[in-house]
Amino acid sequence: MPLWSNLLARWSPIPLLAVISAVALLVVGVLTAVLNERAYRAQELREIDGQARILAASVSAALAFDDRAAAQEYIDALKANPDLEAAGVYDAGDRLFSGYAARRREALPARPQAAATRYEGVEA
């Protein structure tokens, strides 16, 4: 007799339904966790992109008047976000105008990278 039919013959329907329900709940729980993580990452990416757009709109005058102190004030305001690792403002000549790096050993690049917001390796 095959193992599956032997197992069904020994168990009454109630414990079998309990096992099937437990497995189904486990699968649904894992799927929910994966979907929530993806949604969280997408939301974080939108928030960081929004902060970058606000920064870009805010530093226009500082760039126009070559006011590094004002640009640095806008950058410093971003330090309130603990998830932000680095932010930089570059002038029209692609030179670093003002910036912030949470980890000093990771200096900002001298020239801007591709215009994108990156969150844990994912670009917007």
| pLDDT tens digit sequence for 64-116 | 899 999 999 999 888 888 878 888 898 888 888 988 888 775 677 777 776 55
Share of the chain above pLDDT 70, in %: 80
CA neighbours within 13 Å on the CB side: how many for 124?
17
Model's pTM, two decimal places? Answer: 0.61
Contact 83, 44 (CB under 8 A): yes
User: For residues 81 and 100, is the Cβ–Cβ distance under 8 A?
Assistant: no
**What are 5-51's pLDDT values in tens digits?**
666 666 667 777 888 999 999 999 999 999 999 999 889 888 888 88
CA distance 108 to 61: 22
User: What pLDDT is recorded for position 117?
Assistant: 58
Structure tokens that stand for 61 in this block: 């005058």
- Structure confidence at residue 17 (pLDDT): 87
